[in-house]
Amino acid sequence: MNSAGIYNVGIQIRRSARTLMEQLIGQGLAPAGVAANSGDMIVDGDQKTFMPDVIEASRQMPIIVDFWATWCGPCKTLTPTLEKVVRAAGGRVKLVKIDIDKNRALVQQLTQLGLPLQSVPTVAAFWQGQVADLFQGAQPESEVKRFVENLLKVAGGAMPSADLLSEAKAALEEGQAEEAAQIFSALLQQEQENPDAWAGLIRALLALGDEDQANQALAAVPAKIIEHPEISGARSAVTLAIEGRKAAGQLSSLEARLAADPGDHEARYELATALNAMDRREAAADALLDIMRRHKGWNDDAARLQLLKFFEAWGFDDEATMAARRKLSSLLFS
């Protein structure tokens, strides 16, 4: 469902929230005034507990309701993801799971009030007794996190930034650049001066091959943190990506030049930049180290300075950085 559809459904449900409570209480499907159990953040609900577990409980904390069915394939994928994200929220949100086949009376009433339960999975977020947001169908973890994060913002809370940062970095390391970019962006909505989040977003955009967006993100970094080591590393990564893209298109000619003249240090320097852009870090570092072995101080120490820029872009705790740094130390002090 698009944002406009969610908004319209939300209006309809909000207008009918009082009617919903009155109907459920009036028909004996839920007792009035029963408080939710705050000790368990993931529970199975039904039509008798919907009022205390969802409507009333949502006056104290955000509640997410997962409408599912045993025959629903996507539900089997989505529900574990919802549970994972809710646990990561650290007690700031509660998940109530409702089997639609076992709670047809409740489903019928919610449908009449405008909640689209014709298909599952449907996930609805409640806050202050009203529907705040919803989505349908299985969603990737990044979208579920965004959904929960938006709900927490409405409720005046937020997922711990450390959790978001950890998840984003893990996604980037696993090659899930798009998901990482989304999480870094969500974190920046909370903390606009978080250098790790800015650097992560820039690196994720580079991983997606979007150098223009990476440059725009770099230009948007707050002045207060512009010289932070993480930002400097991201800046070097952007510069090297642009240089490397140009050099990568000449890879064959560079290799041919070196085959004809092993002393062509300019060709080896450009080859190192191209190899780095292809994420062949060890080979890129070795090419620059080879220049230093053959001609110490070549071109005002350009090879060593470029290698240091590689280290900055890769991160000083990166395995390729540490390995190349050992080789550099051995070369300089031998």
Q: Which of 72, 82, 125, 254 is catalytic?
A: 72
130 is catalytic: no
For the record, the structure tokens of 275 come out as 């190899």
Asked whether the beta carbons of 280 and 314 are under 8 A apart, the reply is no
Residue 96 DSSP SS3: strand
Asked whether the beta carbons of 64 and 93 are under 8 A apart, the reply is yes
72 is catalytic: yes
Residue 329 DSSP SS3: helix
Q: Which of 30, 54, 63, 75 is catalytic?
A: 75
DSSP-derived secondary structure for 22-81:
HHHHHTTSS-TTPPP-TT-SEEEE-TTTHIIIIIIGGGTS-EEEEEE-TT-HHHHHHHHH
Q: Whose CA is closest to 96, among 132, 67, 65? A: 65
Task: For residues 117 and 9, give the distance between their C-alpha atoms in angstroms, rounded to a whole number.
Answer: 12
Q: Which residue(s) pair with 123 in the sheet?
A: 66, 135
Q: Which residue(s) pair with 67 in the sheet?
A: 98, 122
Task: For residues 247 and 211, give the distance between their C-alpha atoms in angstroms, rounded to a whole number.
Answer: 15
81: Cβ contacts below 8 Å, ≥ 6 apart: 139, 140, 141, 144
Q: Whose CA is closest to 33, among 56, 53, 17? A: 56
Residues taking part in catalysis = 72, 75
